[in-house]
Amino acid sequence: MAEILLLICIGLVVYTYLGYGLVVWLLIRIRGKRPSAKTDESYSPEVTLVVPAYNELSCLPAKITNSLGQDYPRSKIRFLFVTEGSTDGSTEWIKAHYGQEVDVLGGTERRGKVAAMNEALKYVKTPIVIFTDANTQLNKEAIKNIVRHFQDPIVGAVAGEKRILTNDDESAAGSGEGLYWKYESQLKRWDSELHTIVGAAGELFAVRTELYEHVEPDTILDDFIISLRIAGKGFKVAYEPEAYALEHPSFSILDEQKRKIRIAAGGFQSIVRLSYLLNPFKYGILCFEYVSHRVFRWAVAPICLPLIFLLNAWLAYSAFQAPSSMGTAWITLFVLQCLFYGAAWVGYQLEQRRLRWKLLFVPFYFTFMNACALAGLVRYLRGKQSGTWEKVRRADDVLLKVE
């Protein structure tokens, strides 16, 4: 039984991180590439760019300049910055410097990002609303490239791409995050080509305003909940890699750990709130993509990994006690696991000393990500999650303080 359970757990982990991508790629190859939809280059509906910005004064000058520099007809775009609860003078600064060009929605109470988004939608009159974070920079053609997808009436939302800016002297967590997002971006391309992507990145995504639903204020992964609910209605969530948000990685491993645990807790919260999507008879391909790409990543693989180690340790020990035909295989696998997690531990120790070795990025970040997922499960079960903003230091924040 231990051998069977071990093989099942290994199969689930391999499928989660490698097998699913291979299956989707094969399905696309078998079906053939869909013909590109005809687009009208002159298509430019009115849009509203909503920027939640809690205590983001250090980022606002660059963000507003970047937003106003978008390659999109100025008469067709409205800018709405939501600074509710900010205590750093953000509201006053925007009104004083850009009051004639952008709108600002302030307030004295800090209710959280989701509450700010819900409030902002009361003031959105355009058919398309685009959300982006204050600490990101968009490419000049981002809005134009996102909006063109809405010419297809089946498209209910469009996700941009998140890109991580990393330098050689930045953290291993940041470099690992960059590698992770490159892989994740490829999976999104395949998901979108097969059917729909399952979850947008909050750094940049757009929805048809009429499809936006009021989101529970304590929601952690608002971008994921909003986009999946739209997909659940039968609309496609398209992916546009040429509309991207550039973001610096977390400043330290502790900052990244805090962020990852919160996201993981939000993942479990989302699984509960989107449980109706687990019906394959009703949601078909969407259910397949959602379970394989998200549920397995958040709730299955992180639990399987420690089980694999413990079961393998038991089987390796048993092989020493009573040699069997599979004994050598179990011992070899256990040694490889020890080497992998040993490399991850060394990577963590080097990170603590501000020393980086790129060879250790993959084992370090893989282990780190799954450990945070387990911590996120504990946090969710304890009811510790909250919808209020939890600001995490990033490399650019520290650079601004130094300057």
The CA distance from 377 to 269, in Å, is 9
What mean pLDDT is predicted for residues 211-237? Answer: 93
Whether residue 188 is predicted with pLDDT greater than 60 in this model: the reply is yes
Whether residue 111 is predicted with pLDDT greater than 50 in this model: the reply is yes
What mean pLDDT is predicted for residues 117-136? Answer: 94
What's the pLDDT tens digit per position in 35-91? 666 677 789 999 999 999 988 999 999 999 999 999 999 999 999 999 888 888 999
The CA distance from 296 to 259, in Å, is 20
The CA distance from 52 to 39, in Å, is 31
Query: Between vectors from CA 8 to CA 282 and to CA 177, what angle results, nearest 5°?
Result: 80
User: Which of 166-175, 266-275, 372-381 bottoms out in mean pLDDT, i.e. has the lowest?
Assistant: 166-175
What's the pLDDT tens digit per position in 315-347? 999 888 777 778 889 999 999 999 999 999 998
When pLDDT is cut at 50, 70 and 90, the band that residue 403 belongs to is: very low
Residue whose structure tokens are 């729909």: 196
Q: Do residues 118 and 216 make contact, with C-beta atoms less than 8 angstroms apart?
A: no
Give percent of the chain with pLDDT exceeding 90.
61
Q: Closest Cα partner for 257 from 143, 171, 315, 358?
A: 171
Q: What was the pLDDT predicted at 41?
A: 78
Kindly list the domain boundaries of the chain, sorted by start residue: 1-33+285-392, 47-249
User: Which of 101-110, 146-155, 200-209, 277-286 bottoms out in mean pLDDT, i.e. has the lowest?
Assistant: 101-110
Tell me the whole-structure pTM to 2 decimals.
0.85
What's the mean per-residue pLDDT of the chain? 87
Q: Do residues 239 and 262 make contact, with C-beta atoms less than 8 angstroms apart?
A: no
When pLDDT is cut at 50, 70 and 90, the band that residue 402 belongs to is: very low
What fold characterizes domain 47-249? Spore Coat Polysaccharide Biosynthesis Protein SpsA; Chain A (3.90.550)
Roughly what angle, to the nearest 10 degrees, separates helices 327-352 and 172-194? 120
User: Which of 79-83, 186-190, 216-220, 346-350 bottoms out in mean pLDDT, i.e. has the lowest?
Assistant: 346-350
Q: What was the pLDDT predicted at 385?
A: 63
Backbone angles phi, psi at 97, to 5 degrees: -100, -30
